[in-house]
Structure 1
């Protein structure tokens, strides 16, 4: 990621923890990472750079600071805030805003991407009756899935159906995004271009090209959720719930029984703290209607805590609450209230620059 790319993940009003952005990219799903990812509106970054080393953004961040585009703010964790110069630079050079980014945490991007690229290659070679070619390098699971799909879907009009379906998806995308995706396809007498090659050709950073590529893949995967789509059987299984299976089970136990959270922990044979972590994960990643907030956050609790908390969510600190409130309400309740407010509960202010 270039400094210009990181610039667009920062804000001049909200100091942002560099480690949170790093952990999002690496796919670390701790409640703290997910919560601040929500506050920064950066949850779409989740798992986009799983091979990024810890500290992998440090040099990029320091480059922004050296150029006086951002500044470090005092905190227990390194936080960055854009300077006025940084905001001006960010606004002068807008970056690509993916259309489908809200869906990214719900799709196994690596699975969908590999299956799509290999299936396009296979169909292209099949349409030209090519028996010998070098298939794209993918994992065994991808090869097996595409092989099974192809043998079931194979027909004289398969290539036409795939072409029609892909065209329908691509026309919904910005022209340059469609260009990036199609240029990355491999097929008959056409080797796909890499993101690095496309970045040079299109005068954009490899990261921005990658965002366009993912946007295109997710658009096709979204359209393929329709049962009559020729790639439905191949891509539909790549969709996943945004929370872990264990968290789903915990949420189900809470919403379908009258058990207390501690009783749910006993029933599921997990720690009470794990139950609370599961619920916070679900609260962050799922729609506000998915949790029984009226039960978990009674109106009296909300009113009492909100009366003692600052107006801006980013200024909330559990340890700053009066001792008597800390004795009455645990951190789980405090954090759940913050998530509820961030999602519009009680008409509370969201991001500081709303």
Structure 2
């Protein structure tokens, strides 16, 4: 990631923790990371760079600071805030905004990407009746899935069907994004270009090219959810719920029974703290309608807390609550209310507290 790429992820009003951005990229789904990812509007970064080392953004961040584009804020963890110069630089740049980013936490990107690239290569070679070629390097599960899919759908019309479907998806994307996706495909007498090669050709950063590639893959996978799409059977398994199966089971138990949270923990043979973590994960990652807020946050609870909390959501601190309220309401209730307020439209910015 280049300094300009990180600049696009920062704000001049809201101090943002570098470790949160780093942990999102690495796929570390702690409740704290997910919550601040929601507050920063950066949840789409989840698991986009699983090989990023801890501290892997430190040098890039320090470059922005040395260029006076951002400042460090003293805190338990490093926080960055854009300067006026940094905001001007960010706003003047032509920033790429992925079209499908809201869907990214719902898809297993590696699975969708590998299956798509290999299937395009197989269909292309099949259309040209090529029996001998070097298939793309993928894992065994991908090779088996593509082989099974191909034998199920193989027909003289397959190449035309796939070409038509891919063209329909790519026309929904910006021209440069479509170019990135198509140039990355391997096929008959065409080796796919790497992100680095495309970045050099297009005079863009590798990170922007990678985001464009992801945008295209997700658009194709989204269109393939239609049952008559030629890639439907191959790409449908890539879609997942945004929360873990265990969290889904916890949410279902809370939503469909009258059990207390501690009783749910006993029933599910997990810790009471895990029940609360599951519910917070679901509240962050799922629509408001999926969580029984009326049960977990009765009107009286909301009124009592909102009466003393600051107007700006990022200024909320549990430890700043009156002792009497801390004794009545645990941190889970406090954080759940913050998640709900954020989803209902409170987008004020301040300084994170935890």
1:349 equivalent in structure 2: 346
Counterparts of residues 190-209 of structure 1 (less than 5 Å): 190-209=190-209
Q: Is the 8 A contact 1:251 1:278 kept in 2?
A: yes
Query: What TM-score results when the alignment is normalised by the length of structure 1?
Result: 0.98
Structure 1 distance, partners of 2:103, 2:78, is 29
2:134 equivalent in structure 1: 134
Tell whether 2:188 aligns with 1:188. Answer: yes
For the residue of structure 2 that corresponds to 1:308, the secondary structure is coil
Structure 2 distance, partners of 1:37, 1:349, is 15
For the residue of structure 2 that corresponds to 1:147, the secondary structure is helix
Q: Report the Cα offset of residue 74 of structure 1.
A: 1.4
Q: Report the Cα offset of residue 351 of structure 1.
A: 3.6
1:258 equivalent in structure 2: 258
Q: Deviations over 1:298-330 (max 9, x none)?
A: 001001101111001110110111111101100
For the residue of structure 1 that corresponds to 2:307, the secondary structure is helix
Structure 2 distance, partners of 1:103, 1:308, is 36
For the residue of structure 2 that corresponds to 1:81, the secondary structure is strand
1:37 equivalent in structure 2: 37
Tell whether 2:302 aligns with 1:302. Answer: yes
Q: Deviations over 1:154-209 (max 9, x none)?
A: 00000000000000000000000000000000000000000100001101000000
Q: Is the 8 A contact 1:22 1:55 kept in 2?
A: yes
Structure 2 distance, partners of 1:11, 1:351, is 12
Tell whether 2:234 aligns with 1:234. Answer: yes
Gapped runs of 5+ residues in structure 1? none
2:151 equivalent in structure 1: 151
Q: Report the Cα offset of residue 75 of structure 1.
A: 1.0
Tell whether 2:18 aligns with 1:18. Answer: yes
Query: What TM-score results when the alignment is normalised by the length of structure 2?
Result: 0.98
Q: Is the 8 A contact 1:276 1:332 kept in 2?
A: yes
Structure 2 distance, partners of 1:173, 1:44, is 18
1:323 equivalent in structure 2: 323
* Structure 1 runs of 4+ with >2 Å offset: none
Q: Deviations over 1:230-279 (max 9, x none)?
A: 00000001000000000000000001111000000000000000000000
Q: CA RMSD in A?
A: 0.7
